[in-house]
Chains A and B, each alone.
Chain A
Amino acid sequence: MLALQILIDGFAISALYALGATGFTLIFGVSGVLNLSHGAIMVAAAVAAWAAASVLHLDTYTGALVGVGVALVVAFATYFAVVKPIQNSRRIPNEEKEIFVLTGTLLWGIMIQELIAYFFTNNAKTVLPIIEGVVTIFGVRTPRNEIFTAIVCCLVIGLLWLLVNRTRTGKAVLAASMNPRGVTLLGLELTQIYIVVWAIYGILAGIAGVLLGMFLGVSSYSVGPLTASAFSIVVLGGLGSVSGSLIAAFVVGYLETLTAYLISPAYRTIPALLLLVFVMYIRPQGLLGRR
């Protein structure tokens, strides 16, 4: 009974983590950018969906679409206003661009967080779920919304897999992550590939944010923890490896759920952090990372 409950709850939260981390790792794999405004973009999507439904009184589907749209816009703004100027800057030495991108996106994330807090307060907001009600699976009462979240996450990740492996655009993205210079020699515009990747990232982060808002609720305080959890999942799985992040997301998700149910919700994040430190010691490149 408890085991089944952990299995179901753990699956939903893990799938959500996986979706959030996939976009993050994709961006890193293709353009080498660690986007520390990730959490802010997810929260922006959730708050936009909440505002569309509660302030503008739109229906939940439109609200969710508004949320994803906002995430897309913010992701593009992040790329064009922060990441691209740093990458193209001649005053920043190449070997220091990484830390400048980290600092720049971190500041950008704080700006988004503060704007959300200013216009929509710090209070936690729960987006109205698209599907309501509760079902009982083998004696475990499960909200339909939880099942919906898990299904949408799996579907979106599946679609992403198809997009990357089966379409021409996706193959270009894959090629850019393997060898950017090779791609440009084949006559593809690297900037266009980056724009495609940021668009995919924005949509993924948006869906993850809106689902998170329906499932657990968000506030402007969740920005930091969300970025940190995506960052640690991605590093645990190996930076740039999408399949690695998927595995890591499920490991972290189940570990947290197990701790919360069996020990105490107060210790929820500790075992995952310990595991992360342990993995970094014995395998610094992460589970499936390349050196």
Chain B
Amino acid sequence: MANFFTSRLFFISAACVVIAATLPLYVSGYVLGLLTVAFYFGVFAMAWDLLFGFAGEVNFGPTFLIGTGAYTAGILNNQFGWSVYLCILLGALASVVAGFVLALPALRVRGPYFGLTTLVAVLMLQNFIVVFADLTGGEIGLTIPDVITINAGANYWIALGFMTTSAAILYGLSQSPVGLVLQASGQDPVQAGALGFNIVKHKLAAFIVSAFFSGLSGALLVFYFGTASVGTVVDVAVGVNVIVSAVLGGRRTVLGAALGAIFLIVAGEFLRPTGELATFIVSAVALLVVLFFPGGFLGAALSREARS
């Protein structure tokens, strides 16, 4: 851990954050809005990477955790008019409960079977939202009366601060002894158990941490948008974007996942003039990275540094 603070990765990340923090002084509100969303997405991707890269759990349903947090916060605000911060906190806690529910099958089934369970969880949540349309706003979406602030710069700083804090916590966790045990139990659960580590406890912790950050980020995102809808926080396609971000940026790197998410959102915006082909181009680029640079952006950069 100590040598991280002297590593090149730390200086580059710190420099990036400092430069990013000064952006509101000279770029337009449009760019800030785009990056705000990208930063929240970065947290989704990092939280997913903790589960996949370290605990070895293929979670096809990151949006189950994100959506639970987002909708809980939104519904509480919409129905009872509770303060924004209380709603966000309760949303994150609801997401932790959802993470606990998701962890139960994970401790029984592995690989594709677990992947399908998580996919089913998303489909159930989606059905639930559509069926209880009175409460959730159904397919049209939920209107949220309050927002944190309408200032684009302030929103941007909140998102950046939140992403940086989450990144520091998640990266620190991944490099700590707990992270190593998690990695060991993801790669060979039997051997890790034989070495005397409590795998159930570690995996459960990973799910709870991942769920907490996903839910918190989801709740913050709906208070930024002022609306919660299936298309923005629950749909399987959103989950696919989260997974693609993490794989693009480099799995098992945590920080790479955030990089991948920012790239994905910004690239999607740059490709907007190509109209309907934008998603095609982004998917094609992601596929090429998966095929030729399986380590992702950061994975490729780090292995080059390790070699030299």
Residue positions of A touching B, CB distance < 8 A: 34, 82, 85-86, 89, 91-92, 95, 98-100, 102-104, 106-108, 110-111, 114-115, 117-118, 224, 228, 231-232, 235, 239, 266-267, 269-270, 273, 276-277, 280-281, 284-285
Contact B131 A267 (CB under 8 A): yes
Q: Which of B40-48, B157-165, B209-217, B278-286 contacts A (4 or more CB under 8 A)?
A: B278-286
- Quick check: A224 and B287 within 8 Å, CB to CB? no
Q: Select one of B119, B120, B236, B244 contacting A103, CB under 8 A.
A: B244
Residue in A89, A98, A108, A232 whose CB lies within 8 Å of B120 = A232
Quick check: B283 and A114 within 8 Å, CB to CB? yes
List chain B residues, Cβ under 8 A from A102: 58, 112, 115
Do B117 and A280 touch (CB < 8 A)?
A: yes
Contacts of A98 in B (CB 8 A): 111-112
Given A102-B58, A269-B127, A273-B123, answer yes or no on A280-B287 (Cβ-Cβ < 8 Å): no
Asked whether B280 lies within 8 Å of A114 as measured between CB atoms, the reply is yes
Q: Specify which of A114, A270, A280 is in contact with B109 (CB 8 Å cutoff).
A: A280
Known: A91-B294, A106-B240. A266 touches B112 (CB 8 A): no
Interface residues on B, range: 35 or more
**CB-CB contacts of B115-131 with A at 8 A, as 1s and 0s?**
11101100110010011
Which chain B residues lie closer than 8 Å to A99 at the CB level? 52, 58
Given contacts A108-B287, A111-B280, A285-B113, 19 further A-B contacts (CB under 8 A): A91-B295, A102-B58, A102-B112, A103-B290, A104-B291, A107-B283, A107-B290, A115-B280, A228-B119, A235-B113, A239-B112, A239-B113, A267-B127, A267-B131, A269-B123, A273-B124, A277-B105, A277-B120, A284-B113
Q: How far is the CB of B203 from the nearest CB of chain A, in Å?
A: 16
Which residues on the A side are within 8 Å of B131 (C-beta)?
Answer: 266-267, 270
Q: With A104-B290, A224-B237 in contact, do A118 and B117 touch (Cβ < 8 Å)?
A: no
Q: Please, how many angstroms separate the alpha-carbon atoms of A115 and B105 in the complex?
A: 36
A114→B240 contact, CB < 8 A: no
- Within the complex, the shortest CB–CB distance from B84 to chain A, in Å, comes to 33
Residues of A within 8 A of B265 (CB): none
- Residues on B lying within 8 angstroms of A by beta carbon are 52, 58, 105, 108-109, 111-113, 115-117, 119-120, 123-124, 127, 130-131, 187, 236-237, 240, 243-244, 247, 276-277, 279-280, 283-284, 286-287, 290-291, 294-295
Contacts of B105 in A (CB 8 A): 277, 280-281
Docked-complex contact B120 and A276, CB < 8 angstroms: yes
* Smallest CB gap from B119: residue in A: A228
Q: Which of A100, A111, A239, A269 has the most CB of B within 10 A?
A: A111
Instruction: Please measure, in the bound complex, the distance between the C-alpha atom of A42 and the C-alpha atom of B127, giving whole angstroms.
Output: 24
Chain A residues, Cβ within 8 Å of B187: 95
Query: Which 7 residue pairs of A and B lie closest in terms of their CB atoms, listed nearest first?
Result: A114-B280, A107-B287, A284-B109, A110-B283, A92-B294, A107-B283, A111-B283
> In whole angstroms, how far apart are the Cα atoms of A276 and B295 in the complex?
34
List A contacts of B117 (CB < 8 A).
277, 280
| B108: A residues at CB distance < 8 A | 280-281, 284
The answer to whether B124 and A110 have CB atoms under 8 Å apart is no
Nearest residue, chain A, Cβ from B237? A224
Known: A114-B277, A118-B277. A100 touches B294 (CB 8 A): yes
Could you show 25 A-B contacts with beta carbons less than 8 Å apart?
Answer: A82-B291, A85-B291, A86-B290, A89-B291, A99-B52, A103-B247, A106-B240, A107-B284, A107-B286, A107-B290, A111-B287, A114-B280, A224-B236, A224-B237, A228-B123, A228-B236, A239-B112, A266-B130, A267-B127, A269-B123, A269-B127, A273-B120, A276-B120, A277-B105, A284-B109
B116 surroundings in chain A (CB, below 8 A): 231-232, 235, 276, 280
Which residues of chain B have C-beta atoms less than 8 A from A118's C-beta? 276-277, 280
> Chain A contacts of B109 at CB under 8 A?
280, 284
CA distance A273 to B119 in the complex (A): 10
Bound-state Cα–Cα, A106 to B108, Å:
25
Contacts of B236 in A (CB 8 A): 224, 228
Nearest B residue to A277 via CB reads B120
Closest to A264 in B: B131
**Cα–Cα, bound, A37→B105 (Å):** 25
The interface residues of chain B lying within 8 Å CB-to-CB of A285 are 113
Q: Are B287 and A104 in contact (CB under 8 A)?
A: yes
Closest Cβ–Cβ distance, residue A94 to chain B (whole Å): 11
Q: By the criterion CB–CB under 8 Å, are A114 and B279 in contact?
A: yes
Alpha-carbon gap, A118 to B294, bound state (A): 29
* Chain A residues with CB below 8 A from B115, complex form: 102
A82 to B295, CA, bound (A): 17
